[in-house]
Amino acid sequence: MRIRVAAEGAPLSAAIACVEVAVFSPLPGSFTYSWPEELGEACAGIRVRVPFGKGFRNGVVLRLLRSAPEGVELKTISDRLDVQPLYDAARMQWLDRVRRYYLATHGEVWQLALAWAAHDDHRRFRCPDIGAFEKAYPLLAGLFINKRALSLKKMAAGFVTAPLVHAVHSACHAGLLNEVIQKPLLEHSEGKPFELQLTEAQTIAVDHVTGAAGFTPFLLFGCTGSGKTEVYLRAAAEMIRRGGRVLVLVPEIGLTPMWIARLQARFARVAVWHSAMTERERLAVRQHLDHTDILIGTRSALFLPLPHLSMIVVDEEHDGSFKQLDGIAYSARDMAVLLAQQLNIPIVLGSATPSLESWRQAEAGHYQRIDLASRIAVHALQVKPKIIDMRQVDGPVSPQLQHALQQTLEAGDQSILFLNRRGYAPALQCCACGDVPQCPACSMSLTLHRKAAQLRCHSCGFSRRVPLCCEACGEPALMPMGDGTEKLDEWLTEHLPALRFARFDRDMVTSHTRLSEILAAFERRELDCLLGTQMLVKGHDFPHVTLVGVINADQGMSLPDFRAGERWWQQMTQVTGRAGRGDKPGHMLIQTRMPDAPWLSRIGESEAEATMHEELELRRMLNYPPFARWVRVLFSATHADRAVQAAEAFARRCHDLSDVMISGPMPCPLERVAGRYRFEVLLRDVSRQLLPWKLAALLDTLPVPSGVRRRVDVDPQDMM
């Protein structure tokens, strides 16, 4: 571990206590600061406020040092932000393993992990006895002019003498201040007994999970509607009965309303965590974490220090949303397995279409595979997709699908239309010269949003007004190309006026409240149809849906990414699973302009095992993941030559790594994003023993040129 000092200067006495701090910054190594006596006894794992550069930053104490380094003058810790460490020793070791695997700095990992604790400004405190408080803390007492509670943010605005937070904590410990506790975000209930009768397969699955001794990873492989959720709930109930707590990870916030309803119906103390929550809501979860039995959330919930954690569930474990795309490129699924190993507890990974990585682990005997082979619904019929050739059809909906929608409506059933493209059309093209308006900052065309009269880039967020005529030739001959959910909305309004429907994409679902409202209306059967993007087809359980229509199945099938076929198959199979989950059989219509594409014959849950074995064998022959470990290193800059030079310098150094194959530098498939040119170097380790660890020293010693950004992606999921 490389130690850096915060400042240079004259030597100090060796008797001065100092600490090693992981400052929240991307700089490598850690920094040494002196520890002032007024902050009490130092301990590892607490957050501190430190002077850094020309300002102040937060950091975490990594370890205590008996003496200061010789020949340097250390800056002093400004404030102590925690009374006790936020993580226990096991979780601190887990984070260090995460740091080493994902080639991140101490500061990056701790900043990511403790993002849940970054809302201290909203913590409020009330003074019950201003007289006693004024005697002990005269400077701080001046802020409490009445009995109204004050937030730390307001205190900081009127308090210039540090350390503020440590003083507030000390006053609370002395009983001179009381922290205001928020109401629980979800109301506590008594919890209801389980009424559903388990099938034999479900009973076996629950017994396997609850009977596990120590760290045991399970792959729960079951078709959609086979009762995987009930297995999770029964196993969780047993863990809680034994005094433990349970963490449930889901890929999208769109799944949390369904999960919350199920958990609150069964358990007394439930908490939820996702990115759409306000800072006050997050604070409420944090304050009641010690009294939570089950925590349900997206990938960031993994870092909350839920005490007495005894089981982890990762639902829809194959989903790409578990991979973080910004900052540290971590996989929440893989980190959850690592955490379960560190805590010596079981973990259940569930999916109807498992990732090939998890499937391979089960094949190798590292995961215990549990199968739920059949649906719970009484008719127990697998949905057989019907392929519709769209090569001679104008418009987004074929006559066959239109007729099926009308029949479903007349029968009083519900339907889902899947189109993974928001906006009105993916592009606007001039019929005279063929020009397509492009994003000025990205290597992609602008998407037409007709109602807003805008062209938008779905990569960087750039938007502009729709031009009246072609800016290349001047002709008023602009024509929308392709179909988006907004165009489908317009078509349904015109051709099926009796159909009550709602759009379910990120243009319409702009908040978690709106998301819950749409799903609740659909469950109450106030809507006949939902049309939406991929956020609609992930794990939702709608028992009255008997028809699913895929508007454009060709989209995403031919991307320049070796995982494109796997993702497309997973998505189509998941879409299939939305129909026929109740007491009526389901139907699925797939519209395509490539009806002879081989992947179309693989759609359906009955093809799952054969499809995964076939794809896995192909990966084995090509030495592709999961049979090799890849690390993708991206360099970006506003000038292409600077990014290329940095990538070339890195690639040259990588040639010193024996037994590691190197490709590049080469332009990324999506070469320009947000005004920055992107080039990549791909490293491949067939042995899976060298990467990523062999890269650590190289990355630490190779400087990144000014104006260039370097991003390291271990086990990349997106090759675009």
pLDDT over 90 at 508, yes or no: no
Six-digit token string for 281: 């809501």
pLDDT over 50 at 12, yes or no: no
- Nearest Cα to 413, choosing from 588, 591, 543? 543
List pLDDT tens digits, range 593-652.
Answer: 888 887 787 776 667 888 889 899 999 999 999 999 999 999 999 999 999 999 999 999
The answer to whether the CB of 677 falls within 8 A of the CB of 636 is: yes
- Nearest Cα to 60, choosing from 119, 105, 115, 111? 111
Confidence (pLDDT) at 14: 39
CA torsion sign for 407, 410, 414, 419 is positive
Average pLDDT over residues 348-362: 94
What rounded mean pLDDT belongs to the chain?
Answer: 87
What's the CA gap between 110 and 82, in Å, rounded?
A: 14
Confidence (pLDDT) at 403: 94
- Range in 40-54, 62-76, 95-109 the model is least confident about: 62-76
Confidence (pLDDT) at 49: 93
What's the CA gap between 546 and 538, in Å, rounded?
A: 17
Average pLDDT over residues 240-256: 90
List pLDDT tens digits, range 709-718.
Answer: 999 999 999 8
List pLDDT tens digits, range 522-575.
Answer: 889 999 999 988 877 776 778 888 899 999 888 777 777 888 888 888 888 888
Confidence (pLDDT) at 617: 93
**Packing angle of the helix pair 228-241, 256-266 (nearest 10 deg):** 50
**Binning pLDDT at 50, 70 and 90, where does residue 197 land?**
confident
Confidence (pLDDT) at 13: 34
- Range in 7-11, 176-180, 222-226, 674-678 the model is least confident about: 7-11
**Packing angle of the helix pair 89-101, 106-113 (nearest 10 deg):** 120
685 phi and psi, to 5 degrees? -120, 105
Cα angle vertex 648, ends 646, 651, to 5°?
Answer: 110
Average pLDDT over residues 508-534: 86
DSSP string for 476-522 = S-EEEES--HHHHHHHHHHH-TT--EEEESTTT--SHHHHHHHHHHH
What's the CA gap between 250 and 318, in Å, rounded?
A: 11
- Range in 8-22, 131-145, 318-332, 553-567 the model is least confident about: 8-22
DSSP state of 15: T
Confidence (pLDDT) at 381: 57
The answer to whether the CB of 206 falls within 8 A of the CB of 231 is: yes
- Range in 2-16, 19-33, 42-56 the model is least confident about: 2-16
Of 380 and 586, the one with more pLDDT: 586
User: What is the percent of the chain with per-residue pLDDT over 90, rounded to a whole number?
Assistant: 49
Place of tokens 């979780």: 91
Confidence (pLDDT) at 15: 40
Confidence (pLDDT) at 378: 52
- Catalogue the long-range contacts made by 286-289 (C-beta closer than 8 Å, 24 or more residues apart): 286/116, 286/117, 286/119, 287/181, 287/182, 288/181, 288/182, 288/184, 288/185
Asked if the peptide bond before residue 467 counts as cis, ω within 30 degrees of 0, the response is no
